[in-house]
Amino acid sequence: MKFEAPRGTHDILPSEQPRWRRVTQEAERLCALYGYRPIQTPVFEDTELFARTSGAGSDVVQKEMYSFTDRGGRSLTLRPEATAPIARAYLEHGLHREGQPQKLYTIAPMYRYAAPQRGRFREHWQLSVEAIGSGDAALDAELIHLYDTLLRNLGVDEYRLEVNSIGDSACRPAYLEQLGDWLRTHEPRLDEETRAKAQTNPLRVFDNIDAKPPEVRAALAEAPKIGEALCAECRAHFGDVRRTLDATGVAYELQPTLVRGLDYYTRTTWEFVGPALGAQSSISGGGRYDGLVEALGGPATPGVGFGAGIERLLLALDETPSADGGIDVFFVAPEGADRTALAAAMAALRRAGVSCDMDYAGRSVRGQRTQASRLGARRTVVVDSPQALETVVRELGG
RNA sequence: GUGGCGGUAGCUCAGUCGGUAGAGCCCCGGGUUGUGGUCCCGGUGGUCGGGGGUUCGAGUCCCCUCCGCCACCCCA
C-alpha cells in the first residue's frame, strides 16, 4: 500500500457516520438547549497564543505542538485545544463588550504530537464548551450538568466524575510553598519517581497514586492537598458549585488532588472518566480559567469550560450501529433502457426533494436489485418502459 | 520520546522444518425463488506493510524503517 493516513490520524468512513452523528447531533442539541451558541476558529493560530496560555512548562507546549513557520516567517501552531482560540476570538471581536457571559461551543479537530494509541490520536475531535465573562459558580455546575446529560442521553452509564478546586492566585502560591516544604521535609519517605515529580511539577506528585509503593502512598496521604488549602473565596465558590451539582442531580466524587495540565486553570476543575479505555480513560476534562483572557491582554475576565474527546466518547458507547436513512427510490435500468430519460426523471424527483439513485456500475438486473436493498431503497422501480418513469415522477414528484 | 507485542485479499484470519499463498465474509456473474433477500454454483481480488541481507530458494531467518496496539509520560 502506497499511502496511508498519517500516523495518529484516521478516516471517518461513511459506515461510521451514523454513530458519529448520533454523538455530535445530540451534543449540538444540548448546547442549544443550555444556551450555548456555535463558534468556529482557525485550525492554526499564532504559536505564542498557546505558549502563553498553556504554560511554557506544560507537556503540550514542551513536546506536543504541531508548529511550523509559514512563508511569511510567522510561527504558527495547529491548535492543541480550543479554549485559548475561543478566548482570543472573544477578545478580538469585542464579545467582552456584549452581554455577559458569552456561552459558546465548537466541535472541531485538535492536534497534539504524542505517541498514538487506541483513543489517542494526533488529530482528534473535541466538543469544547465555554462560558466566558462570568464567575458565577452556577456556570461551572451547568457545564458539568450538560456533559453529564450528554453521556446519559447517549446511553453511557459506566463513568464517574471527579471534581476539585485548585484555588486561585490568592491561595495557590501559598499552597505550593506549603507543599514544597512538606516534600522537602519528607523526601526520605518518597520514591525516586515522586521526588522527580516534586522537582518538575509538584502538583502532580499525587498522580497515579495507586501504582506507588505502599509506604509512599501512606506518606503522600499526609501531605497537604490543594483541594483542602483554599482561601475563603475559593472555598465559597466551590461550595456553590457542589450545592448546585447536588441540586441538579449530578453525582460526583471529590478528588482533592485532581489538577489540570494547562496553566490557565483556576478554582473548579473536573474530569469525566469513562469505562475501560486503558490509560486513556479521561473522556472529558474542564475547569475554570479566570486569568486566561487577561493573560491574552484583555480585561480581567472570568471563564469556565470543558473539552470532550469525540473518539473517546465513541469508544465508551455501545457498538450498536444506528441504521442509515436509506433512499426513497432506486431505479433498475435493464440493458437498453433510456438512461437519458432516467436522468431527467431523477432530476425532477430530486428537485421535488425525493432522494433517488440508480446503477452506475453496469450491473445485471439482479445486481441492481441487490444494490437497491443495500442502499435501503423504500421503492424500487424497473425502468422497462417510458410509462414507468412517468408514473413515478407523477406520483412522487408533485 | 523510551520499552514490549504485532502487520498475509477491502474485512476477520490460517499458512507445518525455509520449497513459488489459502479460507470465511464482502464484491461481480449465474442457478433457484415471489425479478431483492435466503440457498446453491462460479468468478474477480495479494509487491505477504516497505527496503536491504542470508540462502539454490524467504510470508517464514537477520538488520533497518513505516504503521497499529500495550505500558510509561501525558492527556480528550
**Which pLDDT score, from 0 to 100, does residue A166 have?**
94
Q: Which chain A residues 164-193 have CB under 7 A to strand B?
A: 193
| The pLDDT of residue A397 | 75
Q: Which residues numbered 45-84 in chain A sit less than 7 A from strand B, measured from CB?
A: 58-60, 64, 81
Separation of alpha carbons A121 and A115, rounded Å: 8
Which pLDDT score is estimated for A64?
92
Instruction: Output the pLDDT for position A228.
Output: 85
- ipTM of this complex: 0.88
Other CB atoms within 10 Å distance of the CB of residue A247:
9
CA of A127 to C1' of B66 (A): 32
pTM of the model: 0.92
Query: A124 near A81, Cβ under 8 Å?
Result: no
Length A381 CA → B11 C1' (Å): 32
**So what's the pLDDT on residue A357?**
96
Distance CA A89, CA A7 (A): 30
Please give the pLDDT value at position A299. 95
Distance CA A314, CA A321 (A): 11
pLDDT at residue A332 in the model = 96
Contact between the CB of A311 and strand B at under 7 Å: yes
Give the per-residue pLDDT at A202.
Answer: 85
First to last CA, chain A: 49
Long-range contacts, stretch A197-202, CB < 8 angstroms, 24+ apart: A200/A57, A201/A57, A202/A176
Measuring CA to CA, which residue among A320, A340, A327 is closest to residue A375?
A: A327
Chain B bases having any atom below 7 Å from a protein CB: 1-3, 27-32, 35-37, 47, 49, 66-76
Asked whether residue A109's C-beta has any atom of DNA/RNA strand B within 7 A, the reply is no
Which amino acid is it at A106?
A: T
- Return the amino acid letter for A256: P
pLDDT at A192 (0 to 100): 82
CATH class for the region spanning A14-171+230-316:
alpha beta
CATH 3.40.50.800 residue ranges in chain A? 329-397
Distance A363 CA to B10 C1' (A): 19
Per-residue pLDDT of chain A (398 residues; tens, 9 = 90+): 478 899 999 999 988 898 999 999 999 999 999 999 999 999 999 999 999 988 877 888 888 999 999 999 999 999 999 999 999 999 999 999 999 999 999 999 999 999 999 999 999 999 999 999 999 999 999 999 999 999 999 999 889 999 999 999 899 989 999 999 999 999 888 888 888 888 878 888 888 787 788 888 888 988 999 988 899 999 999 999 999 999 999 999 999 989 887 878 899 999 999 876 666 789 999 999 999 999 999 999 999 999 999 999 998 886 665 667 789 999 999 988 999 999 999 999 999 999 999 999 999 999 999 999 999 999 999 998 888 899 899 988 76
Nucleic chain B: which protein residues 239-298 of A have CB below 7 A from it?
260-262, 272, 278-285
CA A70 to chain centre: 28
Which cell goes with A380?
Answer: 424500487
Tell me the C-alpha distance between A275 and A281, whole Å.
7
Asked whether the beta carbons of A23 and A310 are under 8 A apart, the reply is yes
Cell numbers linked to A240: 456553590
Side chain identity at A14, as an amino acid letter?
P
Range(s) within chain A of domains with CATH label 3.30.930.10: 14-171+230-316
Chain A span 339-358 residues with beta carbon within 7 Å of strand B = none
Instruction: State the DSSP code for A203.
Output: G
**What CATH number has the domain spanning A329-397?**
3.40.50.800
